[in-house]
Each structure stands twice: as structure tokens, then as C-alpha cells.
Chain A
Amino acid sequence: MKITGANLLRTLLERQGIRTIAGIPGGAILPFYDALHCSSIRHILTRHEQGAGFIAQGMARVTGKAAVCLTTSGPGATNLLTAIADARLDSVPLVAITGQVAQSLIGTDAFQEVDTYGLTLPVTKHNFLVRHPAELLDIVPLAFQLAESGRPGPVAIDVPKDVQNATIDVVDWPEPGRPVPVPQCSDELIETLARRLTTARRPVLYLGGGVITAGASDLAQALAHRLSAPVVCSLMALGAVPPDDSLYMGMLGMHAAKGTNFLLEEADLLLAIGARFDDRATGKVAEFCPQATIAHIDIDAAEIGKIKPAFHSLVGDAADILARLLQRLTPQQRPAWRARATELRAAHRLAAPPRANEPLHPVNLCRFLGEILPPDTIVTTDVGQHQMWVAQAYPVRQPRTLLTSGGLGTMGFGLPAAIGAALALSPVEGLAAPGRRVVCVSGDGSILMNIQELATLAELDLPVAVLVFNNAQLGLVRQQQELFYGRRYEAAHFTAVPDFAALARAFGIRGLRLDPRSDPLSELSAALAAPGPCVIEIPIHEHANVYPMVPPGAANRQMIAEPELASAHA
């Protein structure tokens, strides 16, 4: 069968089971867009390529399967880079397809030519420059296999225009790319770990995003209870253990509850599972968990010992390892250690003024959202203070229901990721939960970084609600300048702040602004209950800070507490 490279690429994606692609066309990718014209694949036209990248990420983060984004060459590819790098740091499976100028023009500084292969090389798990249409038969399945195998990540495929236009004969179609199982670690290693866990007196489980990726949340929770070991989570692991679990200690690190970081000071064994000892989690590494020996389970061998030497390490799939570990462990009671965890948690509750006085205090807002939103609601965030308030105060009750840019910390992530999440829940994607609300919590700084995707949202009419916590500033920047730079506020305040409700209406989306003097929380409930997309602007106090806070580079025990509230609660 004679087929063009563009049709071949489309057919390979269809055979891969891809139903939705987000992207923006342009000259070097037009042959492929022409091939999409008669495809079962639904194309989501975004307003900026970064939006396409984060829509694909939103889909991938909800489903765990690689999603596809598509751009043209040159600026299309460079605009996509941030979303690819973001996927790399948070281990999100993504296949990014970019058009490239014809091979005869490569290296001539042709119109919209950029070295996409060179640019994507350091931010992908692997990347390809396709030199002949026949290579697509190998590259496309391999790209999906690599994106989804082991520790997931982004894969980029750069397809020159002449490759899309060239015709070849296809006789045999390859099987779609599927994740390859990783080798099992030995029983001996698991038995040694079981013995060490049994003899530990004050063990703590430190869960990372890898637990959610592995689908090992229930197993991790079971392990905690088998051992009577408290559990701390990185930002990426929120949702792995329900927050009302008696052993759950919340997020560790820079914005942890104080009791959580204090507990880690006392631990004698830290079992890290699918976690990478990020500096926001560990604080000053040399003083992290000073009394603990470290055991580390990870699917990526290069994470073992990268930051902290582990006395015992197991490389493999967390679900497999935890299941086998549980078979070798009998229930253990550690009443004193459990009581200590309960005591620390009770002594250091997250501080917030009473709701009646300040209903729109960010912590109160996030707690209120937890009360009114169903547990399976998907919440996305942008990056900044609002992100940390969500992490601290919003109860993430199920895996894959908090989508947030952890490693790269990309402002502008939240809105397109929410659109992607809503698409993943739409009937065409199979995970049908029509009408299930997706909430994007953002700030007035972050939302403007991909505000253009409100147009995409209006077109798609998805049940995405955008909550803009508005303090007219880059809040986390201002907070750091207040605490660590002598209150010399530089480039942190906005003097012109848009009317976000009016802005939403300009895009054709319902928009409103909560009035703190009326009954704002009832208004918020009503707005979230109404169908369709909406933007809800919430004025918050301009001096509200995220507390506690570990100064960057300091040990986790050196937490700055909220001044007035801390004394009021003492």
C-alpha cells in the first residue's frame, strides 16, 4: 500500500489508540494536518503551543498514558519546550510531535528553522529526527514505549516536511508501543528490607510521585499500617494516602506542617518510595533526617544515591516491590511512635484565622473547597503561594486528582492542564465522567501566563472552573523578599491588575468576582455548582504568606512560623 509519511504518522497514532491531540498548525506540519482531516483523532486547537503541551500533560497526568501534542517548526517547537521540560521533571509520559523544514533546507537558516532535535535533547527522555518515512514505523511505537516504560517521560519526534510528503510502500504494520515491564528485584533484597523495617523503632515512609505512577498508593497505605509507620508525602505524592488516615502526616519540606518536619528529625529509618529527595522536600540535605538510615525504592536506578546515600536500595516497580514486601511482614505495633506522630500533628495544626472572620483567607478557602468538592474532583494548580496553600490545606483524597507542576514549577500550567484533565474525562477518551468538575486554582500572576487558553476552553465548553486568588502580586516572590531580602520589594507588585471576571466574559466564559462583604463562600458554592466553564476571581489579602516556611538552603527544622497566629495558638 502506497502511503505518505503524513498519513503513515496519522495511522500509527490511530493504531496507538490516540483519540485526542492538542496543537497548533504551521507551514512545516501542514502535510500532517492535512492527513488529520480524515482521521478519527480529535484535534484541539490551542492558542499557544505551550497550552497544547500542558493540555497533553493534563490528559497524561489523569490517565497515566502518553498523550500527544503537535506543533510546527521554529517558534512552534520553542514555545513547546517549557511543557516538555516540565513533563521531564515530573515524569509525565508525553509524545511531542513537531514539524521541521524539509531536509534539503536543514542547516540553511530557513524560515522557521530551529534545531528542535538539539533543543529537545536535554529535556526529553529520548528524541528523534525522522529522516525517512519508513523510520516512522519504528520510531512512533518506540516513542510511546519509551514514554510509558519504567520512569515515564516526554519523547520528541521531529518530522521534516519532505518526510511527511514522501510516499512509501507499507506492507506490515508494527504493533503499537506498550510499556515494557522492568526487571524484578531479588527476593533477597526484599527480605533484607523486611528485616530492617521490622527492627526499626521509628520508621517513616516518604512517598513520592512514583507511588502514584506505579499505582501503588493502596499498597503504600497498607504498608504504613502493617508497620505502624507514619507517612509523609512529597508534593507529587499528594493523594496517595487519604488525608484522614491516622498515619498520614502530610507534605514534608519547605512548606510542611511543622510537626511533619519535626517527626522526620526523630525517625530512625526513612523508607523513600518513588521519591527523589528534591531540595524543596529535604531542605539542607546534610541535615535531613539526621538520625535515620535511608532505604530507597525507585524504578530509576540513577535516583539511588543521587542526593542521599541509601544503606539499602531496591530498583524496580514500586507496586511489585511493595506487594512482595507486604507478604513478608507481619503486623507491627509501635504504640509510642504512633502516639508521637499523633501528638506532633495535633500540636502543629495549620494556622488560619476563624472562617467567620476571614472566609477568604487562602487556607480557609482551600479547606472550604475540600468540603464542597466531591473527592474525585480533579484540582490543578499554577505555581506560587496558591499552589502551596492547596498542597497544605486542600484534602487530596485520591491519586491523580491533584495536577501540579512540581519539579519545574511552571507558572501557566494550571489552566491548560485543567482543560486536558477535563478532556481526559470526556466520553471520547473512555474515562467517561461527563460533568465531573475540574478546578484550576491559580493566582493573578500565573493565570496571565496562559490566559489565552480561555478561548480554547470557551470553544470546548468543558466543566473547568478557574479560581484566581488575586493579591495583585507575585506572592511567593514578595514573601521571599519580605522574609529574606529586607522587605526590599522589587518587581513583585502589579499596579495594573485586570478585571478577571470581565476578562472571562470577553472570552465568552461566565465570570464573577467574590465580594468579601457579602456571603462569598455561598456564592463560590453556587458558581461551582453551575454547569460549564467559569472564572471566579477571589480577592485575597495582599500580605498573606505561606507558613511555615523553611528558608531556602536551611535545614527543615528551621521553620519560620506565622508571627501573630503562632502566638495566638501557643
Chain B
Amino acid sequence: MLEPTTAAIAPSASAATPESPETSCHLLNDKPAGVRTAVLELRVRNHPGTMSHVTGLFARRGFNLEAIVCVPVGDGATSSMLLLVSDEPRLEQVERQLAKLYDVLTVRQRPELTREFFTRLSPIAANGAPAQLP
């Protein structure tokens, strides 16, 4: 589930380091459209390891994670992370587990964002079109 099938920009776990301030988008699973998804926004401490903590949580708790976008905020002390996840009954449990991570400062849902937000960022998923930030 967590093996990247469609790798976009900078798919490394250190994408959230201050040394790599570029926006990164990582599409993890090319699920067919129609699967109900939700988007979570995390504000996280920006340092090496944060991405591992977040993605590792999804792996070991058996939650679905389809895509990640991570952008440094302001001076880069924190990052904003957008996660495309399955909208299943366990979503609330996912949010609570994320909120327990020390490096995760806030967790909230972004109901106005959809799967298309992520696919537009991915040059491969968008048929070779260059990545564009909204």
C-alpha cells in the first residue's frame, strides 16, 4: 500500500527538512476514482524524521494513505502537510493517532480539497504536464 506506484517530486522521507524547501508531492497509490477520500491537513514541526513518523503511522496502523503534499510554512520552522486518505469509519481514529505524534501540532480536515488537487501536482498522473502549484 505504501510502496510508491507513482513517484512525483522529491519522494524522500527527508522532504520536510529545511535544506529542501521546495514543495513536494508524493502520490503513493493510484486508486481508481470513486473510492471515497478525505484530505487531512497537518501542521508539523519541520525537521528530519517528521515525514517518517507520519508515513510510518499509516503503515503500522494499516490506514490507507494515497498521497502527500508537504510545504514549509513561513520561516520553515513548521510545515503544512496535506494527506489524501480513505474516507472510512476509522478516519477519526487516524486523526487521533496523528494528533498524538509529538511533531504533529494540529490536525484538521479540508473538505473543500479533493483527489484532483493531488493529481494536478503530479506530472506523471497528469499525463506529463509539468507540476503546477495552485
- A interface residues, Cβ below 8 angstroms from B: 117-118, 121-122, 125-127, 129, 146, 300-302, 304-306
- The answer on a CB contact under 8 Å between A306 and B52 is no
What would be 14 A-B contacts, judged by CB atoms less than 8 Å apart?
A: A117-B49, A121-B49, A121-B52, A121-B53, A122-B56, A126-B101, A126-B102, A129-B49, A146-B102, A300-B100, A301-B96, A304-B96, A305-B92, A305-B93
Binary contact track B50-63/A, C-beta < 8 Å → 1, others 0: 00110010001000
Q: Are A306 and B56 also in contact (CB < 8 A) when A126-B102, A146-B102, A301-B99 are?
A: no
B99 to chain A, nearest CB (A): 7
Q: Among the interface residues A122, A146, A302, which one has the most CB atoms of the partner chain B within 10 A?
A: A302
The docked-state distance in angstroms from the alpha carbon of A121 to that of B93 is: 20
The docked-state distance in angstroms from the alpha carbon of A305 to that of B52 is: 26
Interface residues in B7-54 by Cβ distance below 8 A to A read 48-49, 52-53
In the complex, B97 has a CB within 8 A of chain A: yes
Residues of A within 8 A of B93 (CB): 302, 305-306
The docked-state distance in angstroms from the alpha carbon of A122 to that of B60 is: 8
Among candidates B56, B92, B96, residue contacting A121 with C-beta atoms closer than 8 Å: B56
Binary contact track B94-121/A, C-beta < 8 Å → 1, others 0: 0011011110000000000000000000
The docked-state distance in angstroms from the alpha carbon of A127 to that of B101 is: 11
The docked-state distance in angstroms from the alpha carbon of A122 to that of B61 is: 10
- B interface residues, Cβ below 8 angstroms from A: 48-49, 52-53, 56, 60, 92-93, 96-97, 99-102
Residues of B within 8 A of A305 (CB): 92-93
Q: List 4 tightest A-B contacts by C-beta distance, closest first.
A: A302-B96, A126-B102, A122-B60, A302-B97
A275 to chain B, nearest CB (A): 17
For the A-B complex, the count of residue pairs with Cβ-Cβ distances under 8 Å equals: 28
B17 to chain A, nearest CB (A): 11
The docked-state distance in angstroms from the alpha carbon of A199 to that of B32 is: 50
Residues of B within 8 A of A304 (CB): 96
B48 to chain A, nearest CB (A): 8
The docked-state distance in angstroms from the alpha carbon of A184 to that of B48 is: 33
A131 to chain B, nearest CB (A): 8
Residues of B within 8 A of A146 (CB): 102
The docked-state distance in angstroms from the alpha carbon of A129 to that of B14 is: 14
Residues of B within 8 A of A127 (CB): 49
Residues of A within 8 A of B99 (CB): 301-302
Residues of B within 8 A of A301 (CB): 96, 99-100
Given A125-B102, A126-B101, 8 additional A-B pairs, CB 8 A: A118-B52, A127-B49, A146-B102, A300-B100, A302-B97, A302-B99, A305-B93, A306-B93
Residues of A within 8 A of B56 (CB): 121-122
Residues of A within 8 A of B100 (CB): 300-302
The docked-state distance in angstroms from the alpha carbon of A306 to that of B52 is: 23
The docked-state distance in angstroms from the alpha carbon of A19 to that of B56 is: 34
The docked-state distance in angstroms from the alpha carbon of A406 to that of B7 is: 41
A173 to chain B, nearest CB (A): 23
Closest Cβ neighbor of A304 among chain B residues: B96
Residues of B within 8 A of A300 (CB): 100
Closest Cβ neighbor of A118 among chain B residues: B52
A322 to chain B, nearest CB (A): 23
The docked-state distance in angstroms from the alpha carbon of A45 to that of B60 is: 34
Residues of B within 8 A of A126 (CB): 101-102
The docked-state distance in angstroms from the alpha carbon of A117 to that of B92 is: 28
The docked-state distance in angstroms from the alpha carbon of A316 to that of B59 is: 28
Residues of A within 8 A of B97 (CB): 302
A296 to chain B, nearest CB (A): 13
